[in-house]
Structure 1
Amino acid sequence: MNTKLVESLLQAILSLSDEEWSLLEEKLFFDSSEPSTRDLMLLAQTGGAFNFLDNKPDIILT
């Protein structure tokens, strides 16, 4: 394990301004090449792949 690198990174992160901290958070937690859950839900609703279910009766379990 590279302890010196981890310590250096921690010091660099702790020295960030609020603006830099926000940018780091955005890059770490919000930038993604993956589609969001909302995007996937919209695709499922409008894409037509589940249209066959429109003609099926609802199943009610008792």
Structure 2
Amino acid sequence: MNTQLVDTLVQIIRSLSATEQALLEKQLFSDVSHPSTLELMHLAEKGGALDFLYDEPDIYTTEDGEPV
């Protein structure tokens, strides 16, 4: 294992701006075969599969249970 190369790459990545780091991350993980967390959140919000929950009664209140 080339730890010197890894250490150098980490230093270079940390020296990048936040925008450059975001671009690097996007390019590194753009061909991932599974959806991202953001994509899953959007699907859950817009997909309609959980819309039935809007019709569920509110059975819990802030007075239920014990404070943590």
Q: TM-score, normalised by structure 1?
A: 0.51
Root mean square deviation of aligned Cα? 3.1
Point out where structure 2 has 5 or more consecutive residues left out of the alignment.
13-20
Q: Deviations over 1:4-61 (max 9, x none)?
A: xx3xxx27x719885xxx86xx53xx34121000100100011010111111112315
- Runs of 4+ with >3 A deviation: 15-18
Give distance in 2, aligned partners of 1:59 and 1:44. Answer: 23
Identify which of 14, 23, 26 aligns with 2:5: 14
How many pairs align?
47
Structure 1 or 2, whichever has the larger Rg, is 1
TM-score by length of 2: 0.48
